Chains A and B, each alone.
Chain A
Amino acid sequence: MALVSIRRTVWSTGGTAVAVRRVVGKLGSLLLTLFLASLLVFFSRFLVPGDPVSFLLKGRKPSPEAVADITAEFGLNLPPWQQYFNWIIGVLHGDFGRSLQFRQDVSTVIGDRLPVTFGLVIMAGIMIAVIGLISGVAASLNRNRFWDKAILTGLTVFGAIPSFVGSIVLIAVFAVQLHWFPSFGSGEGFFDTIYHLVLPSLALTIVFVVLVGKVTRSSMVEQLDREHVEVATSRGLSRGSVVRRHVFRNAIGPILTVSGPLVAGLLVASSIVEAAFGIAGIGSLLVQSVDRLDFPVVQAVVLLVVTTFVAVNAIIDILEPWIDPRSAAGAGAR
């Protein structure tokens, strides 16, 4: 399916000032969301049972002086709001503190693992988009006929498979039986990494493709019944042109809106898949760090996930006037 050209003239009619105000407003609410999220992320530590200091001491019976030393080293003796203040100032400078388990800067720990996870999420995202869109479009065009039902049933069955089960099946079939793909690790260099990430991203795709597929189908079906589609048909446009220019083009909006939250889901679900495939990424780091009460790492990872999620949704919001020109003119134009 060729990508649909989206016109750039939208805002020229709505007025550039309106457009700028829109984007600024969106960025403002984005910053507010991030601020609230940082509060939640930071202070949730105080709600969790367990004391990070006792982890650092690995069960030894320390002298009170040693406890005081460590508490002071990590700034745990300060009042909570001051700890937050120090933390957020650091975060704004790219300093997320020190990992308790690795005795390294959190940014280094995360920096090492980030590319793999991003690679995994991006590959899975592309697969989900391609397979989801194709199956959704195919289902909608065969509405209530055999292929529609077959695709819907298939998507639902796949969506019901937990990712760790999917991972194990993929490893058993494609790595152990067929030897097509490696079963472990993330590889070296660009192409080897992609090769290593095929099965893990497929494992993610299996779970999440149902969402995109079903939304695509219902959004397309809704558009297929519109009168402007009948008008386009009556004018002698080929079926392909009608579907591409009038049905799919108009169906994009809802598909994108649903795909936003998907990114967060992928980041979170990657932890399971990373564990199953032995990949040292953000997801497995998160699980490990929660387990060991390594709160600077947990906070940084959660903040990262929240930021990605909020940013993706903000981008989709800002894109909306290009996708649906009526939204630039306000709700009254609908």
Chain B
Amino acid sequence: MNLLEITELTLDLPNGVRLLDGISLTVAAGETVGLVGESGSGKSLTARSVLGLLPERSTAGGKVLLDGTDVITTSPSELLALRRHSASMVFQDPRAGINPMRTIGDHLTETLRLCEHLPADQAKERAIEMMASVRLPRPEAHLRQYPHEFSGGMLQRVMIAGALSSSPKLLICDEPTTALDVTTQAEIISVLTEQRKSRGMGMLFITHDLNLAASLCDRVYVMSAGRVVEQGSAREVFSDPQADYTKKLVAATPTILVGDAEAAVPAELVPLAPAEPEDASGALVVRSLSKSYAIRGKTPVRAVSEVSLEIPRGGALGIVGESGSGKSTLARLIVGLESADAGEIVIAGKERTAPPRKRQERLAHARSVQMVFQDPYLSLDPRITAGKSIEDALRLHSKLTSTASRAKVIELLDQVGLTEKHADARPRKLSGGQRQRVAIARALAIEPDLLVMDEATSALDVSVQAQVLEVVADIRRERGLTVLFITHDLAVVRRVCEETVVMKQGEIVEHGKTLELLTQPRHDYTRHLIESVPRPAWDLDEAIEEAS
């Protein structure tokens, strides 16, 4: 008998919306099963149903057999027993998933004390053991620390330790590394696989990242709109997808692997004639820019130190780095939201180092550089229609009549692949990808010399991300737009930028042509970043075969 057997699971809301539509899947002991799909596909709901965590007032149908007990029909007390002994779950965001007002020790010992009734000192001992097993550096000291004193990666280890403290037979991981940096992700994944092996657990691993699923899972289920559209061994599904949806997903997923065909750079990515280094006519020239933040009672943090870079007109430069590398601060300095301590910023030949103070300066600065922010759900005013927010930007900077600006809005929306009907929609009615396109259209409305995109696609699903990247590529071809593209994702940079710089702790550690940088990294940190990116296990097999 399998550890987990879900048959024909359905989930309905009272208003008639069907969230899950006949899901069937199995997980055997010792097996890692992936559940992949985009947001809204129902993969998280499926995972939560295993622990009986269903949305309020929803009705479930079908069977969820966990360790022989049907979760859906079982009594509340048996459900508690299942949660305590049979399965446990690691959630996506440890910052939100661990009570910020209780100590780490409390988080780890509370189930031991309250559910298994261990005395306090034994529970503490177990907690220390658990922390050691997920390789937290100072278990004894961590007991009395609070979550805000931990980094995201350390907190996720705490979450894993907490989930493992009940010795579950099945571990459910819901996007456990999505909120983490790529190098941290690699560490967490190795902890998870190590624990799965040593404990012989089954693992149900939910992710939107196909590369991660491919590198980790024995079998995968691909979900879309509440249904399983494809299943099979990871290798079959990803190397030879059958369902249209899977094919689309695989095609949309960026990868850092460089095939032979691509070694020759596609024509459209060839940068326009690079400007002479001494010539300040490049779209963006940054010279030895520094910025530190003073924290009371601590040594100042150097967010950006001695950074120099240059983008020729029409070029696209990627800045890659992990959280805390200073890449967002650099973007804010260039856009004029922060003031630099030292150095110089020149945009389209004009000095733009100091942040603008007067109205005229602000307008001029804004005309020279525009930014697209990470989260389109936050960067658009929910009460203003999409068309109006673009129009506002236009009319602030030009003396267009309302009919003329309206026509311009439609033209801009058309450029980003939207139509007139989207102009009258408020952000609430638009999807994430549509919102981000509106944000791009708004940034392009005043024809800036430079477009800064700060993690502009990382909140989006891969297929949507692919569309947005396509829009950016189109606009670059048509208008010769200069782009500074900031991201944590090496694979995305590869799709957009000819050149890439790698930042670490406020400094540029490597700078070069994107493809060269990916294939022949020179700096250790770049190599470490590239190695941390998950890749399918069979690619490694092939690499080994080729070598022999």
> Which of A's residues lie within 8 Å of B, judged by CB?
7, 9-10, 12-13, 15, 18, 226-228, 230-238, 241, 245-246, 249-250, 323-326, 329, 333-334
Contact = CB atoms under 8 A, between A and B. Distances in A.
B103 A9 contact: yes
B111 A237 contact: yes
B148 A245 contact: no
Interface in B77-126: 80-85, 88-89, 91, 93, 96-103, 110-111, 114-115
5 contacts: A232-B99, A234-B51, A250-B99, A250-B101, A326-B146
A250 B147 CA distance: 14
Assign chain B's interface to a size class.
Answer: 35 or more
B453 to A, nearest CB: 26
Interface string B240-264: 0000000000000000000000000
B110 A237 contact: yes
Contacts of B84: 235-236
Interface in B135-153: 144-146, 148-149
Given A7-B103, A228-B99, A230-B53, A237 B114 contact: yes
Nearest to A322: B101
Given A13-B146, A333-B148, A236 B115 contact: yes
Contacts of B103: 7, 9
Contacts of A250: 99-101
B297 interface: yes
Contact of A325 (B83, B96, B148): B148
A236 B144 contact: no
A236 B97 contact: no
A227 B162 contact: no
B148 A228 contact: no
Of A13, A228, A233, A326, most B-chain CB atoms within 10 Å: A228
Given A236-B81, A236-B83, 4 more contacts: A12-B144, A228-B98, A231-B91, A326-B146
Contacts of B374: none
B506 to A, nearest CB: 18
Of A9, A18, A235, A238, most B-chain CB atoms within 10 Å: A235
Contacts of B101: 249-250, 323-326
Contact of B88 (A228, A235, A334): A235
A7 B480 CA distance: 60
B308 interface: no
Main secondary structure of the interface of A (DSSP, over half): helix
A13 to B, nearest CB: 7
Contacts of B111: 235-237
Contacts of B93: 227
Nearest to A326: B148
B184 interface: no
B282 to A, nearest CB: 36
A238 B80 CA distance: 7
B133 interface: no
Given A227-B93, A235-B88, A241 B146 contact: no
A26 B176 CA distance: 42
Of B102, B144, B146, most A-chain CB atoms within 10 Å: B146
Contacts of A237: 110-111, 114-115
Nearest to B91: A231
B166 interface: yes
A12 B141 CA distance: 12
Of B83, B99, B115, B144, most A-chain CB atoms within 10 Å: B99
Contacts of B53: 230, 233-234
A231 B97 contact: yes
Contacts of A18: 297
